Amino acid sequence: MLERAESYEALVSGFRWRIPARYNIADVACSAFAARAPEREALLHLREDGSVERWTYGRLDEASSRLANALKAQGVTRGERVALLLPQSPQTLLSHLAVYKLGAVAVPLANLFGVDALRYRLADSGAAAVITDAAGLAKLSEIRDELGTLRLIVSTDGAAPGALCFDTLVSQGAASFEAAATGPDDPAMMIYTSGTTGQPKGALHGHRVLAGHLPGIQMAHEFLPRPGDLFWTPADWAWAGGLLNALLPALTLGVPVVSYRFEKFDPERAFALLERFAVRNAFIPPTALKMMRAVTNPRARFDLALRTVGSAGEALGRETYDWAREDLGLTVNEFYGQTECNAILASCAALGVSRAGAIGKPVPGHEVAVIGEDGSVLAPGEQGQIAVRRPDPVMFLRYWGQDEATLGKFIGDWMTTGDQGVVDEDGYVHFVGRDDDIITSAGYRIGPGEIEDCLLSHPAVALAAVVGKPDPLRTEIVKAFIVPTTGVAPDAALEEEIRDHVRTRLSAHEYPREIAFVEELPMTTTGKVIRRLLREDAAHGGLETEE
Ligand code: ATP
Ligand code: MG
């Protein structure tokens, strides 16, 4: 945990990890509060009909113990993988807590996944049980026969053929459960990477992953908890972003969480939710913030109580940073990490650690550097790979069933991220791009982020993604895929205007020689642009509607 400090330097020098030898996520995120203050509010769930369901720590603790007992009676044992195919809901939180109490391994899966994505992850993880809702059951029915390890299905929407009823299990299980005596390194959860660059890999984490997140989250949310804090994220809890950047740390710090199931992110409804609950702290990934930019003058329409907004998962960019300062009246604290090792760089506006276009600085407790191919630490200004030194409590244990990939992740004690970055003279880390997204054009190595950011500053551009298109002369040329602002009808004149816009603001070698206007960009379930698909598209033709 972070203590408040007067400066970033004091924050770093005053920090040391204190993770007890017995550490279980369910204990720290719930049972500890339930013992001390059972009536304390923990979860406010906004139902589809507009009503609100309230859960205290005491009630969560008891219901999750009942569920743990029931799952144990059904044969779920320590170390087994239990998949949770559920949206933001009280049942999802109860399932997580029950799995941690059992010492089993939670495998969160996004509701948006189709049958193929589920088959891959359930088979790869060898899940013994799945807890899911009616929509999930329908998908499971298509693949259940192929999943040899799957023994138990629990339905949160009442009993169904081949599935036990969640509520019945909770009502039948005994009310107390002694959480498994796990240590920090014992497996707690397995989260599949977003699959932005290829087949997703299961990153296995120990219980310590929660402790490892706290300093970064406290920094980005400026010394969370402060009196009156209340947390919300639109990010799916099935993603490291929703689960470990929002839900679990907030609860661990005693901050109540608002939950709501967004079928599809809707900026108007997001603002309405922020207002209704007087949300003080929000984790909002860059894509969602970029969509919120479309709501004009939000502070005139919504009464916002926001104290902090953290953002991670993609580059935030200057445009969105500036927009939030102006239109939300606060500085977004960008932070950075990946499923394998998260929340390791962060901003903290309250301490003056905030720079438009930069991610931030190393979070206390993590050693982060930009390194060269031989693992040497590069000097400020030199571009290389962002890396984290082990041991680090937030670092994954290994990829599930992929020992080679785990080994390949390290150069000596440095865990590589596959992301290119630069440290500036003041110690800020700047994101250049994913290794695969870097564009090589006429001898220059160009990161897509800066160009995308520049494109966004043009009023006709709502969203933009930039990739390299193979070119016989220049190796690659910059190609931009642009979603125009509502009401804009793109034509050749606009295309030329946008090209000029980038040429004059950035440089002559970075402007997009080709532009395609599209209705939408391919996104992962976590809302990240899949540039790989755009790259394939640019190389082989297809998506573009205009040239
Ligand atoms: P896969 O590894 O399967 O291709 P993924 O890397 O998108 O998927 P995640 O672990 O969810 O899966 O995402 C981590 C990545 O997101 C980082 O490696 C980085 O590329 C990007 N990212 C996270 N935070 C930031 C940030 N603040 N700025 C820029 N990029 C970020
Ligand atoms: Mg990755």
**Residue with CA at minimum distance from ligand 1 atom 30:** 314
Q: How far is Cα 190 from Cα 82, in angstroms, rounded to an integer?
A: 10
| Within-domain flag for 128 | yes
| Within-domain flag for 487 | yes
**Contact between residue 392 and residue 245 where contact means Cβ atoms under 8 Å apart:** no
**Best probe residue, ligand 1, of 113, 121, 236, 314 (max atoms within 8 Å of C-beta):** 314
Q: How far is Cα 178 from Cα 378, in angstroms, rounded to an integer?
A: 49
**Best probe residue, ligand 1, of 109, 120, 193 (max atoms within 8 Å of C-beta):** 193
**Ligand 1 pocket residue status of 359, Cβ below 6 Å:** yes
Q: What is the 3-state secondary structure (H, E, C) of 212-250?
A: HHHHHHHHHCCCCCCCCCCEECCCCCCCHHHHHHHHHHH
| Within-domain flag for 343 | no
Nearest ligand 1 atom to the CA of 359 is 27
Domain with residue 495: its CATH number is 3.30.300.30
**Ligand 1 pocket residue status of 321, Cβ below 6 Å:** no
**Ligand 1 pocket residue status of 344, Cβ below 6 Å:** no
**Ligand 1 pocket residue status of 416, Cβ below 6 Å:** no
Q: How far is Cα 473 from Cα 460, in angstroms, rounded to an integer?
A: 31
| Within-domain flag for 462 | yes
Ligand nearest to the CA of 195: 1
* DSSP secondary structure letter of residue 4: P
| Within-domain flag for 112 | yes
**Ligand 1 pocket residue status of 315, Cβ below 6 Å:** yes
Q: How far is Cα 497 from Cα 495, in angstroms, rounded to an integer?
A: 5
**Ligand 1 pocket residue status of 312, Cβ below 6 Å:** yes
Q: How far is Cα 157 from Cα 171, in angstroms, rounded to an integer?
A: 15
Of 146, 181, 206, the position where a domain reaches its end is 206
Q: Which position has the token pair 């044992």?
A: 77
Number of domains in the chain: 2
Rg of the chain (C-alpha set): 23
Of 206, 232, 266, the position where a domain reaches its end is 206
Give me the torsion for CA of 99, 100, 105, 107, rounded to 10°: 70
Cα separation of the two ends of the chain: 53
Q: What residues does 396 pair with on adjacent strands?
A: none
Nearest ligand 1 atom to the CA of 434 is 20
Nearest ligand 1 atom to the CA of 199 is 3
**Ligand 1 pocket residue status of 334, Cβ below 6 Å:** yes
**Ligand 1 pocket residue status of 525, Cβ below 6 Å:** no
**Contact between residue 61 and residue 67 where contact means Cβ atoms under 8 Å apart:** no
Q: What is the 3-state secondary structure (H, E, C) of 8-68?
A: HHHHHHCCCCCCCCCCCHHHHHHHHHHHHCCCCEEEEEECCCCCEEEEEHHHHHHHHHHHH
| Within-domain flag for 315 | no
Nearest ligand 1 atom to the CA of 201 is 3
Of 206, 224, 256, the position where a domain reaches its end is 206
pTM of the predicted model as reported, rounded to 2 decimal places: 0.95
**Contact between residue 308 and residue 324 where contact means Cβ atoms under 8 Å apart:** no
* DSSP secondary structure letter of residue 445: E
Distance 434 CA to ligand 1 centre (A): 8
Per-residue pLDDT at 99: 99
* Structure tokens given for 172: 């039948």
Distance 148 CA to ligand 1 centre (A): 32
Q: Which position has the token pair 């040429």?
A: 503
Domain with residue 99: its CATH number is 3.40.50.12780
| Within-domain flag for 101 | yes
Q: Which domain holds residue 148?
A: 24-31+47-206
Give me the torsion for CA of 130, 134, 138, 144, rounded to 10°: 20
pLDDT tens digits for 222-272?
999 999 999 999 999 999 999 999 999 999 999 999 999 988 889 999 999
Non-local CB neighbours of 36 within 8 Å, separated by 6+ positions: none
Distance 346 CA to ligand 1 centre (A): 14
**Ligand 1 pocket residue status of 194, Cβ below 6 Å:** yes
Per-residue pLDDT at 545: 40
Distance 341 CA to ligand 2 centre (A): 10
Ligand nearest to the CA of 316: 1
Distance 417 CA to ligand 2 centre (A): 7
- Per-residue tens of pLDDT for the chain, all 547 residues: 888 899 999 999 999 999 999 999 999 999 999 999 999 999 999 999 999 999 999 999 999 999 999 999 999 999 999 999 999 999 999 999 999 999 999 999 999 899 999 999 999 999 999 999 999 999 999 999 999 999 999 999 999 999 999 999 999 999 999 999 999 999 999 999 987 777 789 999 999 999 999 999 999 999 999 999 999 999 999 999 999 999 999 999 999 999 999 888 899 999 999 999 999 999 999 999 999 998 999 999 999 999 999 999 999 999 999 999 999 999 999 999 999 999 999 999 999 999 999 999 999 999 999 999 999 999 999 999 999 999 999 999 999 999 999 999 999 999 999 999 999 999 999 999 999 999 998 888 899 999 999 999 999 999 999 999 999 999 999 999 999 999 999 999 999 999 999 999 998 888 999 999 999 999 887 788 999 999 999 998 655 443 3
